[in-house]
Structures are given as C-alpha cells and as structure tokens.
Structure 1
Amino acid sequence: MPSDFNPLLPEDFDSPHADYRRLREQCPVAHSDAWGGFWALMKHADVAAAAADSATFITSKQNVVPKVAFTGRRPPLHLDPPEHTPYRRALAPLLTERRLQKLEPMIRRICGELLDPLIAKGHGDICADFSSRMPVLVFANWMNLPPDQVDELADLGRRYNVAVQSADMDETKETSLLLYDMACAIVADRKANPQDPTEDATSALLAVRVDGEPLPEEMIVGCIRQVLVVGIIAPTVMVGSMAVHLSRHPDLQSYLRANRDKVPAATDEFLRLYTPYRGFARTATQDVTIRGRTIPAGEPIALVYASANRDADIFPEPETFRLDRPNMKESLAFGRGTHSCVGAALGRLELSVALDELLARTKGFSVDGPIVPTRFPEIGALKVPLRFE
C-alpha cells in the first residue's frame, strides 16, 4: 500500500500543521509505512467518533504511535472498559477542578522558583529550564512524595521527557524501567504506611475492591508508573508552543499581560491550536470503512487530535488564535470518550498558572534562537530559547 505521509521526515515547528491541512483536504484517512505501518485519522468527526467508540476502537493492543511501552500494561490507558474503569474511578475524585484549586499556590510557587533565575539572567530555554521541570514537581507534590522521591522523579521525569521527544529509544527504555522501579517503591511504601485514600492516589488504588478483591498489585504499579509521567510531557510541549506563538504575536502578548483574567480562556484556545498529541492510538476490532477507505482489523490507528482541532468544518479560521471561541466544547485537546484525560483539570490549571506567571514576571519575551520541534507522538516545541525583558 502506498504511503500517504511520512512522519519520519525532518520537521520544523510549523510544517506538521501544513501537512495535516493537506491530508484533511486530500486524504483524511491516511496510511503511513513508518513504524511497521499505521493509519491516521485527520478529521474532527472521525477522530471524535473513534475516540467515543471504545467497543470498536480499543486501546489494549496499542495505545500510542509509535509503540513505546517497555514495562507491561499501565492502567487505565492500556485497558479497555470495563477493566479500566476501577483505576479511573479511583483517581478521578483526586483530580476534580474543585479539589485541585488548593494546589494553585503550590503551582505558583514552583513556577516562580523556576522562572525567576531565567528572567534574572535575561535568557534561557523555556522548555529545558522551565516547562520540563514544572509539571514533574507539581505531580510529585500531588502524589505526596517525600523530598528524596521528589528529587528522583524530577531527574527521571525530565530525562524520560526529553528522551521520548527526541526519539532516543535507548534512553527512553532505560528511564522507563527506572520509573517502573520507582512506582514499585511507592506502592510498597503505601502498603507499609497507608495514607488517606481520599487524599493520596496510590492509597486510593490500593483501597479499591472489585467483587471483594483488591486490584492486582502489578496493575497498580503499572497505573502509578503511568501517572508518574502522563502529565509531564504535554505541559512541556504546550508551554513551549505558547511561548512561540506569543513571541510571534507581541500584540496578543501585551493584551494578555494587561488582561490576565483572560489567561484561562487563552489557555483553552492555545490547547486547541497547539494540541500536543498526534499519536494516541486505537486498534479496530473489525474491518472499518471510513470515508471510503477500509482499515483492516488489528492495524494501529493514530487519532491525530492536533489535526482534528484545526478542522475548518468545526472551527472557523482554525489556524488563527481567537479568544473566547463560542464552540470550545468541541475541542479534543484532552480527548473524548472513556479515555478522555482524567487529569484535564490539572493540566489546564498548570498551563494557566505557568502562562500567568510568565506574563506577570516579564515586560516582554521573544524567541532568541532556533526552535527545536518535538516528534511523534507529540507535536510542538521541544526547545525554545527566549530573551526576557
């Protein structure tokens, strides 16, 4: 079968979006020979329908393109309903908007501690020096890790983060295994020293009973391993992408700095415009025909959220930043259906606080060197050197 696109070709920050615009118009159900071959859905309607149909499009065979799991199954992402449900149900109460508001002072403190040295120096890489570190520290605090484990996760999380985005498979595998060891240690500690399951993610998972039986310990470890990094990579990429956009549009930067109450709405529009995921995968349980193309059962299908969120059928002027879009509920930035991001509220809060603190602590900033883009499965900026005023 001929390849409709090649995700292994060199990219810059903007080129994937141009290619996806072509595919939406000419080949919305695309096939690539990369990584053993996979399909890619480019249109909003097709991505949303597949994400919502967990019976036909499963995640238990492959959940990301390319396939990068080295350490066993990690709920809830690696399981299908109903097996995934107890894990998600245990975590969801700890990730509600109301519950997370109490974390905002902590997130602001972390942002300030990371940003102030960069701004004082006058320049720095907003990804390497700030956004690759901030979400690791936030997650470590949310998971009630002691200081030594916070430091360990800060190091491992950043190494894993950069390795995945740089397509360094050896480093990805090594750091993934070390993160798995860390998850094992966290579970062992909570078993020996239980915490309140309404306040601690690991304890909440250990407290779950299904038909009177606890969840399998190896699956709890896999879930904690997933939780350790699932919310780390996307904020790194998103902060970099927001910084690039605001550097290119100093008028918008000035407006948001003067109207910081608009930062949450701006964050939602940035999430639509620069959705950081293009490789979350499903596998069809039967042959499916979409827009005249038949995808055989068992072959991986990438749900390209980054393309879907720039579909002109849903979003007028889709490649333009528009504050307060009326139909933002259609955004697929955090997915849809049973595998929509359970940590969406935390992700929004982190990004809004990070952007707000960056604007509040500067008079201006601009890109000051080459932007290094990330690769599949993420899309956006891996390195963004900035000069600060």
Structure 2
Amino acid sequence: MANPDYIPRHNEEFVFNYDPNEDPAKVDLKTLDMSRGERFRDNKFEPLFERMRKEDPVHYCPDSLNGPYWSITKFNDIMAVDTNHRQFSSEPSIVLFDPEEDFPLPMFIAMDSPKHDVQRKTVSPIVAPNHLALLEPVIRERAGKLLDSVPRGEVFNWVDKISIELTTQMLATLFDFPWEDRRKLTRWSDVATAAPGQGVVESDEQRRAELMECLQYFMNLWQERAAAPPRNDLISMLAHGDSTKNMPSQEFLGNLILLIVGGNDTTRNSISGSVYALNKFPDQYAKLKANPALVPNLVSETIRWQTPLAYMRRTALEDVEIRGKTIRKGDKVVMWYVSGNRDDEVIREPNKFDIERENVRHHLSFGFGIHRCVGNRLGEMQLRIVWEEILKRFDKIEVMDEPRRVYSSFVKGYEYLPVRVAA
C-alpha cells in the first residue's frame, strides 16, 4: 500500500506545475491532477474537489506521474463503483501505480473474489465482536495511562505522544508483537506510504530495504507461530489459515503492510483529526463537554470529516458509462472518498463538523462492498475510548497552531499537531 505520489513509472517527462497560492477558480480542470501530495500537504484540495463535483464530477486526468486516470468525486457515484465488482476490479492495485515487476506486494485488499474473500476471512476473527469485547478494557487502561502522562501546561506533539503510541500499542497486541520493538511497526507503516525525499526515506532503494527488514522480522515470528498451536493473533491466524499458510513471502509482506497501515495510519489520523476538528468548531467541543453521550456521534463525524484514506482505485473490466462519460476497459478509476464525504447533495452542510448530525454513520470512509474496512469497528472503538477518557481528565485540549500534514494524496493525515493541556 505504497504512496502513489513518487514513482514516474509511466511518464518520465511529466512535469507537475504547482503554485501553492493558485486560485482554485482559475485552475484548468482539463489538465488537473489531484493525485499529487503537495495539494494535500498544503491543505489546498477541498476547493478543487468542490469545483469537480459541480463542473466535472466524472473527471479525466490525461497525464500524471502514473499515467491517465478517472476521478469519481460524488457520493452516490463512488458508492456505485465501490459495490460494482463485476465491472470494476481491485486488481492489480488500490493506488494509482501498478505493482513493480521486481517488487510486487500482493495483498487481499487488492484482490478480487474468491481469493480476497478467503484471505479476509482468515484474519477477520481478530475484529469479531467477542474479541473486541476482550480488547476494550485493555485499550481503556492504556489510553488512560497515556493521557495521564501528558505534560500539563506545555506544548507537545499530540500525534506522536497519543495518536501514534496508542495505535502502535494496539497493533503490537493484535500481532502479539514484541512490546519493546513496537515502534518498528510505526516506522514500517510510515515507510510503506512515504514518498522518497519527503522526510521519511531518501530513496526507493531505502524503502525496499526497510520493508525487507520488516519481512524478515515477521518471518521469524511466522515460523515461531507455525510451529506452535494456533493462537488468537494475526500472525498465528495467517500461519495456520488454510488459504494463507503457504502464501509466498512477497504476498505475506503485502498483507503485513495492509494490516499495519490499515490498523495504524487510519486510526491515528482520526484521533488527531478529532482534536483538530473540535478546536476548529469550538461550539461542538462545548456540546461534547456538556453531553459526553455524544462521543459515538463524534467518532462517526470525525471519520467522515477527516477521511483518513483519501481514495481507493479500481480498474475497469469493461467499457462503462457514468454521467455520460465512457470509461474504457483497463482505465484506472479513482474513488475520491475525501470528495464524496463533502457532497452537499447527500450530506447537509458537509464542510461543517457537526456531532449532532442526523444519519452520522452515512459516510464513505470505510468503503462499501466486499472491501469495506475489516477493522472499522476496532477503529471506532479506539476513538470512542480515547474521548471517553479525555473527557474524564481534561477540560480542553487546545491546538496551538496549524498541523503539519502528511505529503500524500492517499493517506490524509498529520505529522505534527501542537497542543497544550491546562496545568
């Protein structure tokens, strides 16, 4: 699940002209490429998606680092594509670039039925209701300890101190990963989705090398779990599953990256996004403090408003017409969840953060159809528990400055969020 922003595989001569001060109303939609990380890093994407929804909701980008592609930007169109598994395939990739021939990373989210179904079924017991019930007191205890450890009256980075640490602890539990090495999971998640030269890895060669270290570490765990009786952790499930126990090493690595990124990036950016959103909409923060029973609504509204994964890609299996545009067999089709979640024909006042919103669970962030996020209930539970524990402890978490955002059009998240809790 690597970042689509950096490998000019299809067009070595492609030049991306980007002006951070550009007027969205004057951008030429005919050549607009929304797949570049700069617009997301600089938080310049929403006015452009608003134009696309109104003027060209099924948009063709003729040229990008990874070739031409279609953008689907409206809520109902996205849902229609996401649930149409006959005409739209998740293979060979859910991001814009296709797998590298010499470094493929197959993963079940980028597979169609039936292989997708049996691999997903192998790991789904980890997030079954009975297992979530066992995890809840563990998450609550850890969240409480982390929140009790924050410095009072001092500015600190909420992303690293709370969001990353809490989700990394959860990942370590799901994998039964050595506790003292848990931050390796954070690193591998960042490496898997990072663009070289943007502060995480310097080159694609470094990225590959670190992912191979990830594979070797987990192969050792795999061998230990395969030799022992089945246990209730993800590695043991994969090592003993009929459809996964003989998977090639690159497929194991691909599924590891899927589980690490899916269990880490999404939840951590929702946790950070909730703090940021409540500071941007202080009336909603006041409502939450006055009525903590609104926490479940806060969770769903955060996941819509934040949209931690901005898009998913499909590939057309045949010619398909949408809104009068003909998408040809083999064309890349990008479902921009981040745009559909702002579609005012479906969501009332979509740019507003509203924790009393009607039908608040009706959003695109988890996807639809067979690929709907397998860990959605776990992510919601973590975010709910964090806020239940915050409200017990703090009058307010104050955001001191604008966040530093991730350079990616795929992972929509935060690197740095300076906050202060009153002494």
TM-score by length of 1: 0.88
Matched residue, 1:112: 144
Aligned CA distance change for structure 1 residues 31 and 172 (closer, same or farther; 3 Å)? farther
**Paired position in structure 2 for 1:16:** 45
Aligned-pair CA distance for 1:241: 1.8
Aligned 8 A contact 1:280 1:303 in 2: yes
- In 1, Cα distance between equivalents of 2:356 and 2:246: 43
Q: Distance in 2 between matches of 1:319 and 1:215?
A: 47
Q: Distance in 1 between matches of 2:138 and 2:223?
A: 27
Whole-angstrom distance in 1 between the partners of 2:197 and 2:228: 36
1:265: Cα distance to partner?
1.4
Conserved? CA contact 2:311–2:338, under 8 Å: no
Counterpart selection for 2:93 from 52, 57, 62: 62
In the alignment, the residues of structure 2 paired with residue 152 and residue 276 of structure 1 have an alpha-carbon distance, to the nearest angstrom, of 21
Of residues 257-266 and 163-172 in structure 1, the stretch that sits farther from structure 2 once superposed is 163-172
Q: Corresponding residue for 1:339?
A: 371
CA drift at 1:200: 2.2
Looking at structure 2, the residues matched to 100 and 260 of structure 1 have their Cα atoms a distance apart, in angstroms, of 22
Aligned residues: 385
Give the secondary structure class of the aligned counterpart of 1:118.
coil
Shift in Å at residue 45 of structure 1? 1.2
Change (3 A) 1:226 1:178: farther
Task: Determine which of 363, 368, 389 is the counterpart of 2:395.
Answer: 363
Normalising by structure 2, what TM-score? Answer: 0.82
Residues 180/225 of structure 1: CA separation in 2 closer, same or farther (3 Å cut): farther
The residue that corresponds to 2:241 in the other structure is 208
What percent identity do the matched residue pairs reach?
Answer: 24
For residue 338 of structure 1, report the CA deviation from its aligned partner: 0.8
Give unpaired runs (5+ residues) of structure 2: 1-28
Deviations 1:188-233 (A, max 9, x none): 221122333xx222222333336xx954353445423422332111
- Residue type at the aligned position of 1:317: E
Residues 225, 276 of structure 1: alpha-carbon distance in 2 compared, 3 angstrom cutoff: closer
Matches within 5 A, 1:37-76: 37=67, 38-65=69-96, 71-76=103-108
Q: Which amino acid aligns with 2:221?
A: I
| Aligned pairs (5 A) from 1:1-389 | 2-8=30-36, 9-11=38-40, 14-32=43-61, 33-37=63-67, 38-65=69-96, 71-120=103-152, 122-157=154-189, 166=198, 168=200, 170=203, 172-196=207-231, 199-209=232-242, 215-218=246-249, 219-374=251-406, 375-389=408-422
Partner-residue secondary structure (3-state), 2:31: coil
Worse-matched range after superposition: 344-353 or 320-329: 320-329
Higher mean displacement: 7-16 or 311-320 = 7-16
- Does the 8 Å CA contact 2:40/2:412 hold for their aligned counterparts? no
1:345-374 deviation per Cα after TM superposition (whole angstroms, max 9, x unaligned)? 111111222233333332212221232222
- Residue 370 of structure 1 aligns to a residue whose secondary structure is coil
Q: In 2, are the aligned partners of 1:136 and 1:158 still within 8 Å (CA)? A: no
1:187 maps to a residue whose letter is W
C-alpha change, 1:252 and 1:356, in structure 2 (3 Å) is same
- Measured in 1, the distance between the counterparts of 2:369 and 2:214 equals 28
